Structure 1
Amino acid sequence: MWTASLAPRTVTTYSTGYQSYLNFLIRYQLCHPLRNHHQLPVISEILLQYFIAYCFSVLHVQCATVKNYLAGIRFVYLRAGIDTCLDHPTAPSMSRLQTLLRGYKKLHISSTKKRLPITYNILTCIVAALRNGVFGAHDDLVMEAMCSLAFFGFLRCGEFTCAKSFDPEVNVCIKDVVLHPSQAKCAVNLKTSKTDPFRQGVTVNVFATSGSCCPFSSMRLLMFVRLQCGAKPCDAMFTDRGGLPVARSAFLSWLNIVLCRIGLNPSLYSGHSFRIGAATTAAHVNIQDHMIKTLGRWSSDCFTRYIRTPEDDIRRAHSSMARS
């Protein structure tokens, strides 16, 4: 139940945070490496302050990452029934740690690159390249279906790929994809996602389009191919030509190759670029905000930070203001 209380990626982040704390203690001889593994190392306010400084000067991680590391450390001790200074948010010790983190954030120069959106125009170029042949007939079809679904479904990369190994209880299976030919609709059941920690599941519908990129058509064709290959209901929907489920790393590798093929710099894009591009494209064609929120399953107006405004739109806005 302790493990189930966290999302899988949170478990990984917390484990990394706690391991980083152990490495810090061992590196500076504050903890013996051969200690009893059933006994948690010492923890105190001053050690956490030095750990924050260690993250800044040695690990060079983002301030938000340090906060997650501290949360991970707290979780480990909380599970062991040990009360720490991290459990008292109003205590003076936490105020000192928060002050250090504010200083950390001001001093740390972010190296995070701003991800560019994969808009509909870029998606059409990706699909055209795949249809001309990049990885082979099967993998090209799989990639086309994944990209089209990611864009029109406003999906996060982790929602349609698997991490390291395929889990039918988490990842998209054959049975999770239902085609409705009479409605020209493909319904995809996402069993888990970032905003669904209790795994209640959500259905994402994508419809046929009149454009060159049609998520319904590509998903229908892929479903036909998968069933022809003898795929069972609990098998992965997206597999490579060798039958292996497409992992996040494999999808991103494919994406980089295709982006290079169409003349774009892959370092400026990521798996999340489809979700950003979908929001940007929707705003560009004047889809109302409440519909963008619905399409992207946002519960707040945070989607606005995904929308990239072209300079031409700003130029036209200024011209309109001058004519008022």
Structure 2
Amino acid sequence: MQGVLGSVAPSTLRAYSAALAHFLAFAGAAGGGGAWPTSQDIVLRYLVHLKGSGLSPRSMRRDLAAVSFFSKAQGFPDPCCGFIVRRALEGWARLTPLPPDRRRPITLDILERVLRALPGLCWSPGEARLFRAAFVVAFYSAFRVSEVAAGSRSDTSGRALASSDLTCSPRRVTITLRRSKTDQRGRGSTVTLRAARHRLLCPVRAVRAFLECRPPHPGPLFIHEDGSPLSRYQFSSVLRACLQSAGLPPMQFGSHSFRIGAATVAADLGLPAPVIQSIGRWHSSAFHSYIRPTGGALH
């Protein structure tokens, strides 16, 4: 059982466990006993309950994935794979399509404006160097925020970049990405960032400047002066403050805008599809949805 639970990411296991607790509470109240094995009838009634609560088909599918996982982990048949369950989800998804992702890409021009706003928003030069390095690395590496920053300041999962994942030379920075959302088995990949002519936007200069003031602690790469890790909340909050200070609408952007921007800028430069896929470590044509128009005034 321990091996089965270890087959999914810790964050996924936490989400599954929370979803399972809700399902078992519903099953118990609905007369299902709240124990294994559960039935397709209870699952269907649970789906109707979730739909009535306003949950999206995507979230409902996530909750069913938890029930399916734990049921099979206990050695019982999957109660979520029946024809009616699958068709109900597909039907609701067709009737309630997902709203389009309208997050804007962070392009080189926008990144420069964000970075110029940093010194006036950070309480020390060291903090400004920290966020500059984190933002620049997120953009040039097309990283997800979970790969750059910790889940919280007390997060000890070790999933974000570690100081040991970095190799730095005068002209390049090499980053080992030990695992990612699409690499749960930890095969790993390597990202190489090269020096750029623009001093403010140069990833090598940004990383080296941060390392000069980074406390000499092992563990997460991006840490504050007190040694605590940069959290995803802090990453997003400072990004919003920089956008606001630069006269840009924060609500049109998000931490994922760095990854969207990497794909968009690569496409604008005319890079071929396989190269863009490689930049973002996409294993399918999903990268096309990350390429956004950059025209139009921002206000």
1:148-207 CA-partner distances (Å, limit 9, x unpaired)? 0000011111111112344374332222111021xx100111111112111122221111
Aligned residue for 2:182? Answer: 195
Secondary structure of 1:294's counterpart equals helix
Q: Is residue 301 from structure 1 mapped to residue 290 from structure 2 by the alignment?
A: no
1:183-234 CA-partner distances (Å, limit 9, x unpaired)? x1001111111121111222211111112311110101111212xx3x13x3
Gaps of 5+ in 2: none
Q: Equivalent of 2:195, from 193, 201, 208? A: 208
Q: 1 CA distance for matches of 2:269 and 2:101?
A: 26
User: Which is higher, the Rg of structure 1 or of structure 2?
Assistant: 1
Matches within 5 A, 1:143-222: 143-164=131-152, 165-167=154-156, 169-181=158-170, 184-211=171-198, 212-222=200-210
Q: Equivalent of 1:22, from 21, 24, 48? A: 24
Q: Equivalent of 2:113, from 125, 130, 150? A: 125
8 Å Cα contact 1:113-1:268 kept in structure 2:
no
Q: 2 CA distance for matches of 1:54 and 1:285?
A: 48
Gaps of 5+ in 1: 33-38, 313-324
Q: 2 CA distance for matches of 1:50 and 1:104?
A: 15
Matches within 5 A, 1:1-324: 1-26=3-28, 28-30=29-31, 40=35, 43-58=38-53, 60-86=54-80, 89=81, 94-108=82-96, 110=98, 114-164=102-152, 165-167=154-156, 169-181=158-170, 184-211=171-198, 212-226=200-214, 229=215, 231-232=216-217, 234-310=218-294
Q: 2 CA distance for matches of 1:169 and 1:115?
A: 28
Secondary structure of 1:116's counterpart equals coil
Per the alignment, do residues 311 and 236 of structure 1 end up closer, same or farther by CA in structure 2, a change over 3 Å counting?
A: closer
Secondary structure of 1:124's counterpart equals helix
Per the alignment, do residues 135 and 56 of structure 1 end up closer, same or farther by CA in structure 2, a change over 3 Å counting?
A: farther
1:75-99 CA-partner distances (Å, limit 9, x unpaired)? 112222222433xx4xxxx111112
| CA displacement at 1:31 relative to structure 2 | 5.7
**Which has the larger displacement, 248-257 or 272-281?**
248-257
Indicate the RMSD between aligned Cα atoms, in angstroms: 2.2
Q: 2 CA distance for matches of 1:311 and 1:254?
A: 25
Paired AA for residue 148 in structure 2: F
Question: Normalising by structure 1, what TM-score?
Answer: 0.83
- Tell me the percent identity: 26
Aligned residue for 1:36? Answer: none
8 Å Cα contact 1:161-1:248 kept in structure 2:
yes
> How many residues are matched?
292
8 Å Cα contact 2:115-2:242 kept in structure 1:
no
1:236-264 CA-partner distances (Å, limit 9, x unpaired)? 21112332101112211221221211122
